[in-house]
Structure 1
Amino acid sequence: MRRERLTAGWAIVLALCGTALPGTAGAEEDARAYVAFVEDFTAQCVSRNGVQILVRNTHPTRRLRVWLDRYHMGTGTGDRSRSDLAPAGEPEALGCSRSSTGPQEWRVVRSVFLD
């Protein structure tokens, strides 16, 4: 009985760490580490006291697909976007950090390697 509890305990620990099985949750976390948000000073955004927000893939050789949720003034808008990003490619524009009515941001929902 003690051995069964120890085994179950380790299974929970491994699942929480995302390393239970190769190719499951750990793989998603690895892809997420290569998603980067960058800022650019475009005239349209600067006029609103904001910056242009872009997303890019920092992995040198692997393509990735990323799903993003947009938040406006701290509240989810229900807008979900999906982008396929080339390895070490040009960033993809998302929008300004401020709209005419308040701040907005994007959060990574999920990211996976395409190859």
Structure 2
Amino acid sequence: MSSVSLWGVPHGMACAEEEATQYVSFVEDFTAQCVARNGVQILVKSSHPTRRLRVWLDRYHMGTGTGDRSRTDLEPGGEPQALGCSRSSTGPQEWRIVRGVFLD
């Protein structure tokens, strides 16, 4: 008999997702296009030494969700993947982790 969390997700699955997202981080880079907007380039990467991750991200612009959801696979020790600038021409934007899973 498997345990079930309060949200109806099997306990083991919720723990696996939670564990995977612990290895996802955002980093910044100073690209010319973003610096020109008084921002920085936002990138996402995995810090897990051996396992591949799949992560889903939601984009927020000026504090409001845009409805844009992206999915990306992150390799262990791989290069960070660019998401966009921390500022658009009209205001700040950010990405938030929705879900993450190990691919192996």
State if a TM-score over 0.5 links the two structures.
yes
Q: Which runs of 5+ in 1 are unaligned?
A: 1-10
State the secondary structure of the residue aligned to 1:93.
Answer: strand
Q: Could you say which residue in structure 1 is the equivalent of 2:102? A: 113
Match of 1:91 in 2: 80
Does structure 1 residue 104 correspond to structure 2 residue 93? yes
Alignment-derived partner of residue 76 in structure 1? 65
Runs of 4+ in 1 over 3 A off after TM superposition: none
> Aligned partners of 1:25 and 1:91: how far apart in 2?
25
CA deviation vs aligned residue, 1:21-80 (integer Å, no higher than 9, x gap): 43x100000000000000000010001100000000110000000000000000000000
Match of 1:7 in 2: none
Structure 1 residue 88 displacement after superposition: 1.6
Distance 1:92 1:60 in 2: 17
TM-score (norm 2): 0.90
In structure 2, stretches of 5+ residues that fail to align are none
2:35 aligned partner, one-letter code = V
Correspondence for 1:41: 30
Pairwise CA RMSD: 1.5
Cα distance between partner residues in 2 of 1:87 and 1:81? 19
Specify the alignment match of 1:50 in structure 2: 39
Q: Percent identity?
A: 78
Aligned residues: 99
Which residue identity is paired with 1:69? D
Name the aligned partner's letter for residue 79 of structure 1.
Answer: D
Distance in 2 of aligned mates of 1:80 and 1:15: 25
1:15 Cα deviation after fit: 3.4
Q: Structure 1-normalised TM-score? A: 0.82
Q: Give me the whole-angstrom Cα distance separating, in 2, the residues matched to 1:112 and 1:69.
A: 16
Secondary structure at 1:15 match in 2: coil
